[in-house]
Amino acid sequence: MSIGTPATRALSQAQVRFRVLEYDYVTGQDRIGLHAAEAIGADPGRVLKTLMVEVDGKPACAVIPSDRSLSMKRVAAAFGGKSAQMMPPDKAERLTGYHTGGISPFGQKRRHPTAFEASALAVPEVVINGGRRGLMVALAPADALEAAAAKAQPLCAE
């Protein structure tokens, strides 16, 4: 199954089983992940958002539930750094090859260190952006970790 995004092609090439979920993306949403969860009728805790960050000035990718917020202290610790901050959207787009609202941890232009919020992986299936606005993929958490070459770490604020 290939929908034609770098993310879905990467998953297919890795022989990962996934389902495609599409919804009408509405521009101008403040909380894109929550909008996606509502649009596809999924629990916001299972719909994961992909955030590009900089840890000690180096790019990294954090994947967390759409209803949670990052703890920059935890992000820095997860990637072995001292400080972390959100990456500017234009830089995130340039480094990943995706548009904001469609950034996926799979199939980025160049692989960046990636971590998933550990507490979000105790479910049978997670939903993550499939590489374009309005396209999500549903897959097993273990498959998502493997396909993104990611580690499970505490990333969210309490």
The number of folded domains in the chain is 1
Mean pLDDT on 101-109? 96
109: CATH: 3.90.960.10
pLDDT for the residue 34: 86
**Which candidate, 93, 76, 95, places its Cα nearest to that of 132?**
93
121 occurs within a structural domain:
yes
Answer whether residue 64 shows pLDDT above 60.
yes
Give CA–CA dist 123/31, Å, rounded: 22
Mean pLDDT on 38-65? 95
Q: How far is CA 73 from the centre of its chain?
A: 19
In sequence order, the 6+-apart residues with CB closer than 8 A to the CB of 3 are: 20, 130, 135
Mean model confidence pLDDT for the chain: 93
52-83 exposure pattern, b = at least 16 Cβ within 10 A, e = fewer: bbbbeeebbbbbbbbbbebbbebbbbbbebee
3-state secondary structure of 147: helix
pLDDT for the residue 3: 61
Domain that holds residue 127: 6-153
Mean pLDDT on 29-49? 87
